[in-house]
Structure 1
Amino acid sequence: MLVVNGITKRYGDQIILEDVSFAVNRGDRMGLIGPNGCGKTTLLRIIAGLERPDSGNVTFQPKGLRIGFLPQGLHVPEDTLIGDLLEPHRVELAHVETELARISDQIARAEGDDAEALMAVYDRTLDRLTFLSLQVSESQAENVLATLGLQDLGLSTPVHELSGGQKTRLSLARVLLSDAELLLLDEPTNHLDIEMLEWLEEWLARIEGGVLIVSHDRTFLDQTVNQILDLDETTHTVRVYDGNFSAYLAMYLTEREKQMAAYRDQEYEIRRMRQDIAHTKEQARRVERSTIDDQQRRYAKKVARKATSRERKLTRYMKSDQRVEKPREGWRMKLEFAKPKHRGQDVLITEDLAIGYPGFEPLLVDVNLHLRAGARVALTGANGLGKTTLLRTISGSMDPFAGRVRLGPSIQLGYMAQEQEVLDPDRSSLALIREAAPMSETEARAFLHYYLLSGEDPLRPISSLSYGERSRLMLALLVAEGSNFLLLDEPINHLDIPSRSRFEAALSMYDGTVIAVVHDRYFIQSFATEVWVVGDRGVRVIL
């Protein structure tokens, strides 16, 4: 269906893609992964024909292949109606219906040859009307809207009335209803809750064509793809792995372990050879200095020449392609959160809690929760049902409608909101940590190292840090301030897979109590000791 051959793309002097080649066949589900900014979206746009490569080509088989492209964001005129966007044939259908009525009136007044000619036009117009009627399925469009949480929006609603999240889901609905044979999906899981994600997975499983997906949702990739395209940020090339994300990760880690073992063996052998060469040279020098016997001196010089020859051979090997390179430190890791050590102390108790916003009906009622020390809670559920409101009420930044929230003794609560604007963009990580806790510079650097902020990172201004680095810094600040109970609101929502893995690595070293609002099922499975599901104006606890 799709052949990408030797694609290279540069922006100025910066290489984005270099000699990228792969193929998508019918039935293939390919996941394109890599850090933010490495060129994934650029590659999709080149395939979709929205950008031109510097070299290489994209071929479709057959040539008229129907392509559905989901970009990040909905780019249409603001006065476009939802119905016209989801069913582009609707406008033409209305026009053809009007035209057919006009021709019918002409036939009623025509005679002879004119009537026969008009009948031929009528038949062709009727065929077109029949075809368009088959393309327009209002019930299917409404079903997709309902599944994506847009059921309250009529097909006559203009796009400008939608929120950012609604526009993203509408753009997804548009592509899914396009009857495309090849889908190019750039972050299709944005703004989808778990129920919507599971519906999308089932939808994609039924598609007979090919799919190329850019996603940071690892469980979604596990459920939907049968191949992984790993776009390397250093070489700017892709490598194809068979299987889903978990199979890719296992294969990558196995290869890395083998490379690391080979690298260690090589380094041991290089050290042994260097020591042997140095020892031989020194032995030859001692013999030359200690004797005037010409034969022994000639033998010592011969030994020295052999050592020099071995040294040159080692130097050539060090510069050759045969040398095993040390594997780069990467984000790919399998984490196992340790089981909580202490579960005795009460951390949080809610009693008949009702929460919401003044002037509106309560979002949640009769919420009775009991949380003990060391627990790690994944708070999940559909969007807009009260997850963030519950965290704000627990933190004390919102008052409950009814009931009460009780924190255990000696509990120091830390709240990490979705917004990162609370960080001063002009300050450095090192300065903020030393302000939060009495540490020397050495101690602060060592502390930040645990949160994967090392080297020059602690000295950089916050404005130059990535979203992932800022998230890890916010976590570090809460821990440095002595928080033993963390409320994390969508801490990995805008992070790519590498940044999510690094945040999880930082969080795995925290032994306090955590409630995290998350939709990432991969994170939930490895992190949570219990799951709180918000729905039907209540909270259901799953242990």
Structure 2
Amino acid sequence: MLQIKNLSVTHKKDLRPLLENFSFSLNAGDKAVIISEEGNGKSTLLKLIYDPGLVEGYAEYTGEILTGSTLLGYLPQEFPRECKEQTIYSYCMAAPAFSEVNPGDLAAIAARLRLPKDIFYSDQLCGTLSGGEKIKLQIAVLQMYQPDIYLLDEPSNDIDIETLEWLEQFINTCQKPVLYVSHDETLIERTANVVIHLEQIMRKTKPRHTIVRMPYREYITNREAGFLRQEQQAQNERREYRKQMERFRQIQQKVETDQKNITRQDPHTGQLLKKKMKAVKSQEYRFEREKENMTEVPDMEKAIFVKITPETRIPNGKVILDYRQEPLKAGDHLLASCVCLRVTGPEKIGIIGRNGAGKTTLLKQIASELLVRPDIKAAYMPQDYEELLNPVQNPVEFLSSRSDKEELTAIRTYLGSMRYTADEMAHPVRELSGGQKAKLLFLKMSLDGCNVLILDEPTRNFSPLSGPVIRRVLKDFQGAVLSISHDRKYLEEVVDTIYELTENGLHKRS
């Protein structure tokens, strides 16, 4: 159905290889997840499979992508900008399959996604939908096409927990193969039976890929155990090599000393020493051959490193927020009759709720209060990064406040710890992946010494490999965190108190 032969992909601007000699077949029953650190080419690979024209501006490739007459259904990572000013009805009408689906089937699709049954005929602008509603709308249109293969780029982004559970069921029960990218570890653990791992090793100069047909957690466990065994074996071999070389040098030095002290009157001893030196040289060559055949020290792509300064501690009794909004509205639309939220000390609050419930609206209002408070240092990470990021700035320019040599050197060091290459540090923000943009905002909060973090879906663009690092950092953070999240591992590992936003207000979840 889908066959890829010897695919190699190169980033045009950096001349950095993203893939080398990648071959893969997607078969019936496959639920294949592509994982990698941010910026390693996951989305590029999906775009290339669907339509090579989508990447021709920044990447070139060799190899074959064979799809035959297979109908591909592609969900992009970001909702198309040009469609945001369209009505939902216009957006659906642009899909030829829409007019071929009868109203009963349309209603069934809407019901499965918990969308209003008449949503597809709505005059509401697509740009006014919540992030999760946009994802649902795109998935609904894909279902109208009934493709032979689903290519899904971050389908789990921004959708609520109930829809995430529906998505898991959809992937697991779908009769068609699914190739997808996701940062939701729970979703991956519950759905993937094939793992495609793209890595950049040797300081991001060489790509490596691994394809295994096994569940994700089993792959990660086997990978870590394998690397540990390889590292231990490599260390043992090198330790034994050093011991052998030390003994060899002692023998060599003794023979050389004896040769210097030999007299012409003792030719027999001289011949014996020559033979002994020849044996020593032969042993040296053998050691060199053994060194070449030693087990390699494993070169694995390490997760990002990020740290928030310890000076961010908040006293336990300090009132961070005493918020009341009655009612909560988005324009003329009533979201909740009354919202009350009190936060004291270094609490970590998680807000959940259905898509469109008003979570982002609420968090923006809370942020507007906290960002101007002189007694705290607050930072806001929006769901749409472009609210804070200038698309033409590069990462160093975004993080710099003084632009002196010392600051710029420090910033490049920090970016390096977040796995930016020197070339990526010079790229304009618009060319960065979603995960790389998220790294920038986290790094900015760290450098600014913020002690109150207001985060809208903070883990949504971090890879399954970087996600545990971010969760650990936020768990250990000694300031306050107010966040919206549908990431079940984040809610379980980081958050102290979960509130659900409904039309009646915020309700604490047990």
What amino acid is the match of 1:30?
A
Q: 1:176: how far off?
A: 1.9
1:84-115 Cα offsets, whole Å, 9 max, x none, are 45673746xxxxxxxxxxxxxxxxxxxxxxxx
The aligned counterpart of 2:104 is 139
In the alignment, does 2:213 pair up with 1:248? no
Q: Is the 8 A contact 2:412 2:425 kept in 1?
A: no
Q: Which of 470, 492, 499 is matched with 1:525 structurally?
A: 492
* Cα distance in 2, alignment partners of residues 53 and 379 from structure 1: 43
2: CA distance, partners of 1:24 / 1:431: 42
3-state SS in 1 of match to 2:417: coil
1:453-468 equivalences in 2 (<5 Å): 453=418, 460=425, 463=428, 468=435
TM-score, L = length of structure 2: 0.74
1:308 aligns with 2:281: yes
Contact 2:474/2:494 (8 A) holds in 1: no
Q: Per-residue deviation at 1:396?
A: 4.5
Counterpart position of 1:29: 31
Distance 2:337 2:2 in 1: 52
Instruction: Kindly indicate whether the alpha-carbon contact (under 8 Å) linking 1:531 and 1:541 is maintained by their aligned counterparts in 2.
Output: yes
Q: Tell me if the contact between 2:389 and 2:398 (Cα under 8 Å) persists in the aligned partners.
A: no
Shift of 1:280: 2.6
The answer to whether residue 273 in structure 2 is matched with residue 264 in structure 1 is no
Unaligned residue ranges in structure 2 (runs of 5+): 54-59, 306-312
Q: Is the 8 A contact 1:354 1:363 kept in 2?
A: no
TM-score, with normalisation over the residues of structure 1? Answer: 0.71
Alignment equivalent of 1:70, drawn from 52, 66, 75? 75
**SS state at 1:397 partner:** helix
Distance 1:511 1:2, change over 3 A: same
Report the counterpart of residue 195 of structure 2 in structure 1. 228
Match of 2:357 in 1: 385
The CA deviation string for residues 118-141 of structure 1, in whole angstroms up to 9 with x for no partner, is xxxxxxxxxxxxxxxxxx331221
Alignment of 1:163-242 (within 5 A): 165=131, 168-233=135-200, 236=207, 238-242=209-213
Which range is displaced more, 36-45 or 207-216? 36-45
What amino acid maps onto 2:154 in structure 1? E
Q: How many residues align?
A: 478
Q: How many Å apart are 1:36 and its aligned residue?
A: 4.6
- How far has the Cα of 1:349 moved from its partner? 5.1
Question: Relative to structure 1, is the Cα distance of residues 75 and 463 closer, same or farther in structure 2, using a 3 angstrom cutoff?
Answer: closer
Kept after mapping to 2: 8 A contact 1:430/1:445: no
The SS at the match of 2:300 is coil
Query: Given that residues 227 and 244 in structure 1 are in contact (C-alpha distance below 8 angstroms), is that contact kept between their aligned partners in structure 2?
Result: yes
Report what 1:415 is aligned to. 380
Distance (Å, rounded) in 2 between the aligned partners of 1:196 and 1:279: 70
SS at match of 1:208: coil
Mapped to 2, the partners of 1:205 and 1:8 lie a distance apart of 30
How far has the Cα of 1:540 moved from its partner?
2.1
Residue 177 of structure 1 aligns to a residue in which SS? helix
Residue by residue, what CA displacement relative to the aligned partner does 1:206-227 show, whole Å, maximum 9, x if unpaired? 3223222222222222222222
| Helix, strand or coil at the partner of 2:212 | strand
CA 1:140–1:494: 2 relative to 1, 3 Å = same
Is the radius of gyration larger for structure 1 or structure 2? Answer: 1
Q: Which amino acid aligns with 1:313?
A: R
Counterpart Cα distance in 1 of 2:291 and 2:260 = 32
Counterpart Cα distance in 1 of 2:375 and 2:420: 35
Matches within 5 A, 1:116-515: 136-145=101-110, 147-148=112-113, 150-151=115-116, 154-156=119-121, 165=131, 168-233=135-200, 236=207, 238-292=209-263, 294-320=267-293, 322-331=294-303, 344-348=316-320, 350=322, 352-354=324-326, 356=328, 360=332, 363-397=335-369, 412-418=377-383, 419=385, 422=388, 425=393, 428=396, 432=400, 448=414, 452-453=417-418, 460=425, 463=428, 468=435, 471-504=438-471, 506-507=473-474, 509-515=476-482
In structure 2, C-alpha distance between the alignment counterparts of 1:518 and 1:6, rounded to whole Å: 39
Give the superposition deviation at 1:528.
Answer: 2.2
Counterpart residue type for residue 165 of structure 2: E
Contact 2:327-2:338 at 8 Å conserved across structures: no
Query: Aligned partners of 1:71, 1:470: CA distance in 2, in Å?
Result: 17
Cα 1:284/1:44, change in 2 over 3 Å? same
Q: Deviations over 1:462-502 (max 9, x none)?
A: 84776545544543443454433322233333444455455
Which string of whole-angstrom CA distances, capped at 9 and with x for unpartnered residues, describes residues 481-535 of structure 1? 4433322233333444455455445445533332222222233333223322222
Per-residue CA deviation, residues 292-350 of structure 1 (Å, 9 max, x unaligned), is 35555555544444343333333334445x542333342299xxxxxxx9995354453
**Where does structure 1 lack aligned partners over 5 or more consecutive residues?**
92-135, 334-340, 400-404
Structure 1 residues 287 and 374, CA gap change in structure 2 (3 angstroms):
farther
The whole-number CA distance in structure 1 between the counterparts of 2:21 and 2:482 is 45
